[in-house]
Copies of this chain bind each other. A is one copy, B any other.
Amino acid sequence: MSSAGFARLFNPRAIAVVGASGNPDRIGGQPVKVLQGTGYRGGIHPVNPKYPKVFGLPCFPDLASVPKPCDLAIIAVNAVLVPQMIRDCGAAGIPYAIIFSAGFREIGAPGVALEKEIKVAAHDAGVRFIGPNCIGTMNLIDRVYCGFGPGFADAGLKAGPVAFVSQSGGFAFSVVALAEAEGVGFNYIVSAGNETSITSLDLIADFIERDDTEIVVSYMEGISDGRRLRAIGRRALELGKPILVWKVGNTESGRAAAESHTASMTAGYALYRAAFAEGGFIEIADVHDLVDGVRAFSGRRLPRGPNLGVLTTSGGSGVLMVDAADRHGLKFPRLAPETVRAMKEIAPPNASLANPVDLTAQVTGNAEWVNRITRHVLADPNIDQLIVRYGSVQGAKGEEWASGLAALVTEAEKPVLVAWSRVPDRSERSVEVLERHRIPWLITPTRTADAAGMLYQFSRKRAALEQRCKRSGARVVASRNVPLPARARRLSEHQSKAVLAAYGIPVATDALIAVAGVARLKRAPMPFPVAVKIDSPDIPHKTEAGAVRLNVRNLAQLKRAARDVVAAAKQHAPKAALRGVLLSPMASGVEVIAGATNDRFFGPVVMFGLGGIFTELLRDVSYRFAPFDVETAHEMIRETRAWRLLAGYRGKPPLAVDALAEALARLSLLIADHAGRIAEIDINPLFVNETRVVAADALVVLPR
């Protein structure tokens, strides 16, 4: 889809309103009336065989009669009539429709069939549409209001370089109203409805490519193409345009069908978060985040690193920014000695010249003084971005200060954010100067630090993408075949380990002994102590089945243990196929879990976290989409609290983190290379000691 893809949809030369009415309370009446009052300069063609005129405009009996060219039909008729209207659009050469009508998927089975019908009709007719069951779209640049309801009542909404794609209709316009009250304007607003034809992702992908759009806001309940979400996230990073995503409906539902820990923990939101974390998304959670995000990115500058400088006239606000910045990984470096020296000569006597720099109330009313000091802090090589909070500067002094600051910012390349100590009157000259120079301003120290955090987050992800691209192609293991039995539902531990071994993931050197052969053993095939386990594809959770004996120390114990686990297995699952008794050396080290699943929406993904009971208890795990390289594996290890254990906890020597990272990278290649053939993999526990890693247990689940 090209970036000009939806140009005619959002800025049509003419609009037909099918089901038009002279009653402004009806959904077919509202858009006609509204479009007449917003300044839209294209044609408006009501369509309804019942009326000769609607709101003074000639009303056409059908779409075939509408003058050409017409680029868009608004469809506001009973649901059962919609398929024919779509076909009529095609016949009349109208490429786009917006379907207000409800009564489709959202009402259950009869609606599902009807929705399928409009999908087929649109495909056959070459028509693409927004909806059904949506409240419409708005193009604020060209004043095209194609919608109904109170959200479209305000003809005076101001435009801004922000596109908004929402999966909630009514609430979207509440967000628009709340954001406008804080001075944030949008260019395109879309209520996506049931997304039968054009989806939210189609729209986001289109908007980020547009020159008139700097920021995209997405109010998201759920999408069905996680791979595309990831691709869009990557594109957003490449373009340097953030997607502020407000993801809702995140209650953990789990998946009834999942057998492995990995798949059961990888419920929907975890993968959304993984996609948001790697791509050009900034997660927001309320309107004020949206406002602050738009403000921050409107500055069109990103910091090169985490180092934040703060210049304030109130120590209290500095404390708050330090508290908040920590959550975003921002740092407060010391200022360079030359900066401190230069400041010392001009700063007021009681000023604190550490970072945050506190000039105190002594500089109140002396804007030039503040700016002279600001110049030094902004130039400091240790600082990647700067927050300036000059309390309570107003009127002419405010304008003088803002103009001086703007001159400094213009010379520099770093982001500068202004923290106001009050809610500024947006008609103030100082605000006008800041906005003209694209200096983002925010209220409250915490919100300002949060905004700085958003800029840093985006910048960090861009750099990470660049690094990944540079490293790309470096496979730690070549693609190879793996032994998967036909028609199996899952593999036994021994079979599962063979699959891992094919990709060079270290597994315990086990011995599989036929059930009947154990009693005849003359000596153990490996040194004691050993673990004795049943090996069966039908008993994935051996411990729960009582089919595991640990720390077995001699041959007599071994034979007894083997008898016990076989008996336990038979009692637990009488029909289970028993492939034998598996003997494993006892492993030790820190227990971690590494897992992989081939998600229906997002594709192959790898999970890592602390093992044993702590996996599910803590849910302290990290995710990466597969495949990935060893560096990425290191990142995912460092994201979890397991990292502290692995890095040498309380004076202990560091463990084999390099080997662990390599195993994760190999696992990612295994699931990616065989995504169609493997559904889930658990390596639990994977032991990490000082010299190596070893998979002590494994489970491979095949697709149904």
Contact = CB atoms under 8 A, between A and B. Distances in A.
Given A174-B314, A422-B181, A323 B651 contact: no
A402 interface: no
B364 A149 contact: yes
Contacts of A171: 314-317, 320, 421, 445
Nearest to A148: B361
Q: Which of A167, A326, A613, A617 has the most CB of B within 10 A?
A: A617
A37 to B, nearest CB: 18
B168 A319 contact: yes
Contact of A287 (B172, B361, B444): B444
Interface string A93-129: 0000000001000010000000000000000000000
Contacts of A556: none
A177 interface: yes
Interface residues of A, number: 64
Contact of A323 (B219, B251, B392, B423): B251
B421 A391 contact: no
Contacts of A285: 446
Interface in A134-192: 135, 149-151, 153, 166-174, 177-178, 181
A248 B651 contact: no
B317 A251 contact: no
Interface in A273-289: 285-288
A250 interface: yes
A650 interface: yes
Contact of A421 (B174, B219, B447): B174
A169 B617 CA distance: 45
Interface stretch (A74-82, A337-345, A641-649): A641-649
Interface string A603-643: 00000000001101110000000000000000000000100
A125 to B, nearest CB: 29
A288 B286 CA distance: 12
Given A617-B641, A649-B613, A651-B544, A170 B313 contact: yes
Contact of A617 (B251, B315, B644): B644
Interface of A: 102, 107, 135, 149-151, 153, 166-174, 177-178, 181, 219, 221, 248-251, 285-288, 313-317, 319-320, 322-323, 326, 350, 361, 364, 391-392, 421-423, 443-447, 544, 613-614, 616-618, 641, 644-645, 649-651
